[in-house]
Amino acid sequence: MTVEQINNKGQLRHLLTLADLERNDIEMILDRATSYLTPAGHAPARDTILRGYTVANLFFEASTRTRASFELAAKRLSADVLNLDVNTSSRAKGESVVDTIYTLQAMQVDIFVVRDASTGIPSEIARRVEPHVSVLNAGESEVSHPTQGLLDLMTIQRHKQDIDQLCVAIIGDIKHSRVARSAHEALVKFDVREIRLVGPSELLPENGFEGAARCTELSDGIRDADVVIALRIQRERFSELGQIPDTAEYFRRYGLTEESLRAARSDAIVMHPGPMNRGVEISAAVADGPRSVITEQVANGMAVRMAVLALAHEHVRDSDGRKR
């Protein structure tokens, strides 16, 4: 059973996957996010709209940057924030995820931010919570990372005019990447002209990613691309890759360098979800160079997380029985 992410008033209730959102829902989120951007060096946007609301960051999978981003977003909106880092092994011994949620819900948590290494947990939670409660997916197995997809789309939009004219190359371990999946979902909603998945054949997905081309050569993959997204490669992968035994060889074949980037358009932007392996999937010169918009991605991520928290709070606020 699919969970409705948009309530019957057209408000964002849950954010689980971009695949089921309409383009105008995404535009609503990004418009709100844009309102939370402030120029570099200026004070961050702040608001009191979540005062009296409780946000629980329920991280069953470790994360530093995504958790920090959601935590600061919630605090800048004046929420009470509860951080719960529950590793999967203790979850196995302890109570079920659903009982944890019921417990926290009884403590009057309004919004759950959930990250989990297995598939389906955020949706399962969304199915079980009371009608006024909201669930935001902060990373789910290899399948979905919607705030990352939104921040990637937002970053591209702020640099390029028309998404439907763009060619976007995503490079690396596409097969296991929730970042790639969510970016693809966001971009196809905006009729991107072309997406190319680039990487060793073992790391290219057989299914999904409708309409995307596959390339095993970097030079083919990024030729005339407007946007180049490098993904983090896990060191554990090299044991599965016949022809690429180590990071040095990976860098030689798929690393973004000033030289390899010459195949892309001269105004191409370079993105990376972080954390970066400098010298593996990207050179330091590119990461810190003029095409890189990597720190902008982080700033846009803050704005996106403030936006989804602020929008979800409107659902909570307006729910029947929610008197404030």
Query: Both tokens of residue 295?
Result: 């720190």
Question: Which listed residue (190, 223, 298, 314) binds a copy of itself by CB under 8 A?
Answer: 298
CB of 59 to a copy of itself, least distance (A): 12
Question: Which listed residue (1, 8, 39, 239) binds a copy of itself by CB under 8 A?
Answer: 39
CA atoms within 13 A on the CB side of 293: 23
d(CA 294, CA 286): 10
CB of 70 to a copy of itself, least distance (A): 11
CB of 44 to a copy of itself, least distance (A): 4
d(CA 151, CA 113): 17
d(CA 46, CA 35): 11
CB of 38 to a copy of itself, least distance (A): 8
As a whole number of angstroms, the longest Cα–Cα distance in the chain is 62
Residue tagged 């399962």 (tokens): 124
CB-based contact 114:303 (threshold 8 Å)? no
Neighbours of 253 (CB within 10 A): 16
Nearer to a copy of itself, 199 or 273 (CB): 273
Does 245 help bind a copy of itself (rule: CB under 8 A)?
Answer: no
CB of 22 to a copy of itself, least distance (A): 28
Question: Which listed residue (5, 17, 54, 134) binds a copy of itself by CB under 8 A?
Answer: 54
CB-based contact 257:283 (threshold 8 Å)? yes
Nearer to a copy of itself, 166 or 270 (CB): 270
Does 236 help bind a copy of itself (rule: CB under 8 A)?
Answer: no
> Residue 312 to residues 94, 119, 144: CA-CA distances in angstroms?
29, 22, 19
The residue range among 129-137, 164-172, 187-195, 212-220 that interacts with a copy of itself, by the rule CB under 8 A, is 129-137
Is the bond into 39 cis (omega within 30 degrees of 0)?
Answer: no
State which of positions 76-105 bind a copy of itself (CB under 8 A): 76, 80, 82, 84, 86, 94-96, 99-100, 102-105
Residues that bind a copy of itself in the complex, under the rule CB under 8 A: 38-44, 46, 52-54, 56, 64-65, 68-69, 71-72, 75-76, 80, 82, 84, 86, 94-96, 99-100, 102-108, 130-132, 274-278, 295-299, 301-302, 319-324
